[in-house]
Amino acid sequence: MTREYWDTVWKGFDAVELEPETYRRAADPSHARLLDLVGDVDGLKVLDLGCGNGLLSVYLAKRGALVTAVDDSSTATENTARLAELNRVEPKVTVRRLDAMELDKLGERYDLVVGSFILHHLEPFREFADKLAGVIVKGGRGVFLENNASNPILMFFRNNVVGRFGVPKYGDREEHPFEAAEVAALRARFPAVNVYYPEFMFFGLLGSYIFRGNEVAAKILEGCDRWVYAHLPFFNKYSYRQIIEVFV
């Protein structure tokens, strides 16, 4: 993951007052499912891995958690600290600039580790899995919203079309969607791992590249995704989004 790229991504963030219920209602289906799985965090020690602009960290702090917010981007950590201060939860949010591969440097263990689109950036992944297990207390969990490399059509499009023919490329140069082999690495390290598919994301994702700016096409394609999710659950494992839950 290129630090300079993410410093640019997080630049220009305007800190705002965050109201937990409003934040929850505004969440897309994947983020809403993530919050459901996180559940009651009152009194828990939580590590927000790859905190970005700190919205999830502040949400969890307002729900009663003691949060350590970690990111390798200085822009992200500055934004998170500013957001926590504006929302008057800075005593509950400790912000650390730290590479996710250096979790052992935290010197603490947590009841819960959360992250949004962070795991697929981390290599070597088996080494990270060991470090992750080392910062979760016995009986604790990790819950991560991730992308998914299981759909061969999406992967062909990503590898052969994105960044060419006028089709935009998003994300940094080093990332790759989360693979089945990495889920297997978690299963080898943790006693229990659950994988959830909170929505079917396929047609709408392709449309966002091919028909970008066309709201009618976007609504039709997103409707196709919702229909598949409701009526053809077998295909949900090919969605571009998944949630990984690990138990210690």
Give me the domains of the chain, ranges plus CATH numbers: 3-247 (3.40.50.150)
Scored b (16 or more CB within 10 A) or e, 152-172 reads: eebbebbeeeeeeeeeeeebe
What is the distance in angstroms between the CA of the first residue and the CA of the last residue of the chain?
Answer: 27
* Confidence label for 240 from pLDDT (cuts 50, 70 and 90): very high
Closest listed residue to residue 243, CA positions, set 32, 27, 12, 17: 32
Query: Is 206 a residue whose pLDDT tops 70?
Result: yes
- Please work out, in degrees rounded to the nearest 5, the angle formed at the alpha carbon of residue 215 by the alpha carbons of 11 and 208: 55
Mean pLDDT, range 218-225, rounded to an integer: 96
- Whether residue 1 is predicted with pLDDT greater than 70 in this model: the reply is no
Mean pLDDT in residue range 159-166: 79
pLDDT at 172 over 90: no
| Percent of the chain's residues with pLDDT above 70 | 98
Reported confidence tier of residue 173, pLDDT bands at 50, 70, 90: low
In the predicted model, is pLDDT for residue 13 greater than 60? yes
Distances (CA, A) of 189 to 176, 192, 204: 21, 9, 34
Q: How far is the C-alpha of 87 from the C-alpha of 15, rounded, in Å?
A: 9
141 and 246 Cβ atoms separated by less than 8 Å? yes
The pLDDT of residue 168 is above 80: no
- pLDDT of 193-204, one tens digit each? 999 999 999 999
Mean pLDDT score of the chain, rounded to an integer? 93
Per-residue pLDDT at 144 exceeds 90: yes
| pLDDT for the residue numbered 30 | 97
Q: Write out pLDDT tens, residues 91-113.
A: 999 999 999 999 999 999 999 99
pTM of the complete model:
0.94
pLDDT in tens, 60-88: 999 999 999 999 999 999 999 999 999 99
